Amino acid sequence: MKIQVAGPGCPRCQMTEKNVFDACAELNLAADISHITDRKQIQELGVWTTPAVIVDGKIVVSGRIPSVPELKKFFADTGKAS
């Protein structure tokens, strides 16, 4: 699973990234996690409001900080679908 956090690096983006790492750790999920901070790359991904979480190329959260339980549920559901 490839997970990208898109945002300029503000505190909201940092909290989103932390929540992604925490959710993956709690699920014992080995994911390729990266943080995209380049504005042009963020727009190329189709993100217009940050922070955003992109899983395997699909925007799953945009414009808010997702909670760890919300991310865990999504990652678990996505893992079952693959």
Q: Classify 55 as helix, strand or coil.
A: strand
* Dist CA 78 CA 76 (whole Å): 5
Catalytic residue among 2, 9, 10, 38: 10
β 58-62/52-55 pair status: antiparallel
Catalytic residue among 3, 5, 6, 13: 13
| 13 a catalytic residue | yes
* Dist CA 48 CA 51 (whole Å): 9
| 24 a catalytic residue | no
Q: Choose among 82, 70, 78, 80: nearest CA to 26.
A: 70
User: Which residues are part of the catalytic machinery?
Assistant: 10, 13
